[in-house]
Amino acid sequence: MKSIFFAALVMAFVFTACNSNTDKSKDTKTEKETTPTEQMYACSMHPEVTGKKGDKCSKCGMELSVPVDNTGTPIPPAGNNSDTTKPISTVTPSSFSIKGIISNYLKLKNALTKDDSKTAATAGEAIVANLATLDANSLPAAQKKAFTDVAGDAKEHSEHIGANSGKLDHQREHFAMLSKDVNDLIKTFGAGQKLYLDFCPMYDDGKGANWISETKEIKNPYYGSKMLTCGSVKKEL
Amino acid sequence: MKKLARKIVIIGFVIFLLMQLYQPARNKDNGQVLSSHITKMHPLPDSVNVIFESSCYDCHSNNTKYPWYSYIQPARFIMERHIRNGKKDLNFSEFGNYSRRQQESKLKSISKQVKSGDMPLASYIFLHKNAKLTSRQKEAVIRWVDTTLKNYE
């Protein structure tokens, strides 16, 4: 009996050792958007509530009126976006767009406001995939430098957010640093949509931290349900 | 029944012996401290230097102090994996090769990980009793990070 036990122990060792490299090479690109068959709409007060045209918002009962794509990002109305959106600099090739990053960043932010660690992780992985598809070589030198500087850092933070599902605090640490990166990206490449830079004065022992939001209404991703409406709009982007 | 058990023991033992043949290259810098090493970039007070030596460098630098059981598999497998993962996230020996932005991020993360007690890993402390940080040592690291971060503003 004893020897069986010992043998099992040895085998267990062997297995743990040989198992060591089961890298979870999850395909982050499964996030790829499928084209929606139907136009989706969101509530103008609660952008997270989406549905078909004519549906009512589950939170306030208003009709869903803001056209959004299936990522939940508002589609700017065609024609009159010249005044609100910064024109993307003409030197930036049209193939280079940080829209995907912004959209997934906002998804991540919204997941954190709901304390939803799993969705946050998925969004983090999606940002890693977004970054991988962007080719900085097509950019003029100055922009290329700005991008590669940010991208290396942003990739790491997104990876950590993706790998730490279940550890909200750790995800939020990286989210704080990722927010800075995304803000700098927007400074260089333009947001392409109306965004707000919000500020939470409490986070990180009172050092404070920024985040970027698509709504004027404050929903704090750093504390989630604990103090959702705490914070302030710093400026419009 | 008894025969089978004996067979298993023998096979297990043979596998164990064969495993010993696998001895990958060691994570050693042989005294060559790179110019990108954190100590060459930022002044490190002794109190912090001691902490880094005892609690961080084994997995977060190019120079590991291997314990005796590192010569025995499968301990070595597990150790190498920890070192590889550790260096991937933060390598003090090559700190200067990170972009400024990344250096700043990593410093912030060091402070937070130490403060929350996530680092050093509990499994590492279990085997290296002197790696455990006292609250005073934690404060020293956090304070050092705060002063060092001022260089990045």
Q: What is the distance in angstroms between the Cα of A184 and the nearest Cα belonging to chain B? A: 11
**Residue A22 in this model has a pLDDT that exceeds 60:** no
Q: Which of B130, B109, B119, B142 is nearest to B50 (CA)?
A: B130
Q: Both tokens of residue B152? A: 């990045």
Contacts of B89 in chain A (CB under 8 A): 156
pTM for the structure as a whole: 0.65
Please name the residue that has the structure tokens 């306030």. Answer: A60
Using pLDDT thresholds of 50, 70 and 90, give the confidence band for residue A80. Answer: very low
Contact between residue A218 and residue A196 where contact means Cβ atoms under 8 Å apart:
no
Q: How much of chain B exceeds pLDDT 90, in percent?
A: 15
Please report, for residues A195, A208, B82, B120, the alpha-carbon distance to residue B138 in angstroms, rounded to integers and kept in the order given: 38, 21, 22, 11
Contact between residue A228 and residue A113 where contact means Cβ atoms under 8 Å apart:
yes
Between chains, do B16 and A13 touch, taking CB under 8 Å as contact?
yes
Contact between residue A117 and residue A166 where contact means Cβ atoms under 8 Å apart:
yes
pLDDT digits (tens, 9 = 90+) for B26-65: 888 777 778 788 888 888 888 888 899 889 998 999 888 8
Q: Which of A32, A200, A111, A18 is nearest to B19 (CA)?
A: A18
Residues in chain A: 237
Between chains, do A153 and B99 touch, taking CB under 8 Å as contact?
yes
CB count within 10 Å of CB B32 equals 10
Between chains, do B105 and A157 touch, taking CB under 8 Å as contact?
yes
Helices (H) and strands (E) in chain B, counts: 8, 0
Q: What is the distance in angstroms between the Cα of A71 and the nearest Cα belonging to chain B? A: 29
The residues in A 130-149 lying below 8 A from B, measured between CB atoms, are 149
Considering only CB atoms, B74 lies closest to which of A13, A21, A152, namely A13
CB count within 10 Å of CB B88 equals 11
Q: ipTM value of the model?
A: 0.74
Q: Which pLDDT belongs to residue B38? A: 86
**Residue A207 in this model has a pLDDT that exceeds 70:** yes
**Residue A71 in this model has a pLDDT that exceeds 80:** no
Alpha carbon distance B84, B94 (integer Å): 14
Rg (CA), chain B: 19
- Tell me A207's DSSP state: T
**Residue B5 in this model has a pLDDT that exceeds 70:** yes
Considering only CB atoms, B12 lies closest to which of A11, A149, A152, namely A11
